[in-house]
Structure 1
Amino acid sequence: MSGRLQDKTALVTGSTSNIGKAIAEAFAAEGAHVVVSGRNRERGKHVVEGIRAAGGQADFVEADLDGSADASRRLADEAREALGGRLDVLVNNAGIYPPGTTTTTDEKTFDQVYAVNVKAPFFLTADVAPEMARNGGGVIVNLGSWIARLGVPVGSLYSSTKGAMETLTRAWSAEFGPQGVRVNAISPGVIVPRAAEGGEPHPGEIMMKGTPFGTIGTPDAIAHAAVWLASDESAFVHGTVVDVDGGRVGAAVIAA
């Protein structure tokens, strides 16, 4: 790696597995001191140990982002403490995706998904962004989703929360950009962890047929984009949603 985040500090929510884990590992490999956060302490410790074994800096902060402002503020405070008092980069990655259609979703599930996917990052950003501005600037990267812009028969609740995050990305860019805080988002396509050798094809592959890439992506693809957005290389990028989806929402390949 090239040290693109050397001496930076970062908090990645929901980083004990999958996309969040890959982002935390990539940030640390580029020189950042990373706070790994999530509800599962054992998985968090495992991620931290892996980063440290590779020569990176990382700490774990346990957090249950239930949507309350208190939970978000508590995570922000504990992350800053672990990072020596300064937070340069926030990645709002944590989210939940319960199965179900509009007609099978009850009110409790609706409230829970919006609490975790929208309220928690909203109040975390409300705490972190002003502090970043006072410290001279910072970067916020939100996670959207390809199904926020391409309707599918299931997932209406989840997709609406990701649409909200993409809208907040633009709003926060206008609100905090003039204060030195850049806000952008990544819209992942169908992403799954790397399969073991000889493993069965993932069911998500069917959703990538007819796309330029042709198959599912891995968490590393999102991590590479996150590193770029967090680094000074993207200093002229504000309020943008970067599609990292194998061409899923932007192009169609017609088979001969």
Structure 2
Amino acid sequence: MTASVEAAVAAARPDPQPFAGRTALVTGGSRGLGREIAIALAAAGADVAIASRKKEACVELATELAAATGRRVSAHAAHVGHWDEVDRLLDEVEAELGPVDVLVNNAGIAPTYPSLEKVSEELFDKVFAVNVKGPFRLTALAGARMVQRGGGVVLNISSMGSGRPTAGDLPYTAAKSALNTLTAGFAQEYGPSVRVNTILAGPFATDISRSWDPDAVARMAQDWPLQRVGEPAEIVGAALHLCGPGASYTTGALLAVDGGRLAAP
């Protein structure tokens, strides 16, 4: 075997701790997809900051995760829709764990409403604050610091609904479309040292799915290639890839993890 092949084989072998020595911040990290991503990052060697509006849930997960992995895991209360809380959150995380190398903008809300004309200004503003304003501010702050330190990664969790909006989720899908646009803009601004990518998440069996009509979802799923709703842990592979060294030439990308929903008629 030639030296070049040996080197290629060695490089292709998976690193069990690809995030060792790195610090990750996951918003909306105490439940759902954010919880799974936070767990996976710690298992892969990262120190992890878990943030959400309810600190108790963050503390509970942080305690369990630190015990299970031996990593430093911190808990933080923050409403990412509030500009001043976003600033404080980043400072708080970096004071406790050190500079943030990986930012996962996962926090999001999708409140229901009876009809489009019944959407209130308060609901509309709240949806855009959490899904767009928070990620914008946090990426702007963290990304600038990453550039100064020589590099980093940002991962946004968007929705396949940004490509398939319906009347029942229009403020939410419009906000996620804006998040997709931020991905392209920040990738340009903070490259080449900082990569910014997005997962277009499909329907997953998280807390939000409890309000869905299971029969209606089952009927719709028959038209999707994988014909089912995803399990939360199924977001992990894509998230670790986009945040990790294996995606070193990937930025500004939108990756659908949706059971083929966007590929369906």
1:243 deviates by 0.3
Query: Is 1:9 the counterpart of 2:27 in the alignment?
Result: no
Deviation track 1:35-54 (CA, whole Å, cap 9, x = no partner) reads 00011122111211221221
1:184 is matched with: 197
1:244 is matched with: 257
Query: Is 1:95 the counterpart of 2:108 in the alignment?
Result: yes
Q: Which runs of 4+ in 1 moved over 4 A?
A: 200-203
- The root-mean-square deviation of aligned C-alpha atoms, in Å, is 1.7
Match of 1:59 among 74, 84, 95: 74
Question: How many positions carry a matched residue from both structures?
Answer: 244
1:124 is matched with: 138
Match of 1:22 among 36, 49, 58: 36
1:94 deviates by 0.5
* Amino acid of the structure 2 residue aligned with 1:240: A
1:34 is matched with: 48
Distance 1:207 1:146 in 2: 15
Contact 2:116–2:167 (Cα < 8 Å) also in 1? no
Match of 2:229 among 197, 216, 220: 216
Distance 2:70 2:170 in 1: 39
Using the size of structure 2 for normalisation, the TM-score is: 0.87
Contact 1:15–1:24 (Cα < 8 Å) also in 2? yes
* Amino acid of the structure 2 residue aligned with 1:230: C
Alignment of 1:149-228 (within 5 A): 149-178=163-192, 180-193=193-206, 204-228=217-241
Identical-residue share of aligned pairs (%): 37
Alignment of 1:75-86 (within 5 A): 75-84=89-98, 86=99
2:125 is matched with: 111
Deviation track 1:115-153 (CA, whole Å, cap 9, x = no partner) reads 111111111111110100111100000011011001323
Deviation track 1:81-105 (CA, whole Å, cap 9, x = no partner) reads 1212x11000001011100232110
Contact 1:146–1:188 (Cα < 8 Å) also in 2? yes
* Rg (Cα) greater in structure: 2
1:203 deviates by 5.6
Deviation track 1:63-89 (CA, whole Å, cap 9, x = no partner) reads 122232x111111101111212x1100
Secondary structure of 2:75's partner? strand
Secondary structure of 2:118's partner? coil
Contact 1:190–1:208 (Cα < 8 Å) also in 2? no
Distance 1:124 1:202 in 2: 39
1:145 is matched with: 159
- Structure 1 gap segments, 5+ residues each: 195-199
Secondary structure of 1:44's partner? helix
Secondary structure of 2:81's partner? coil
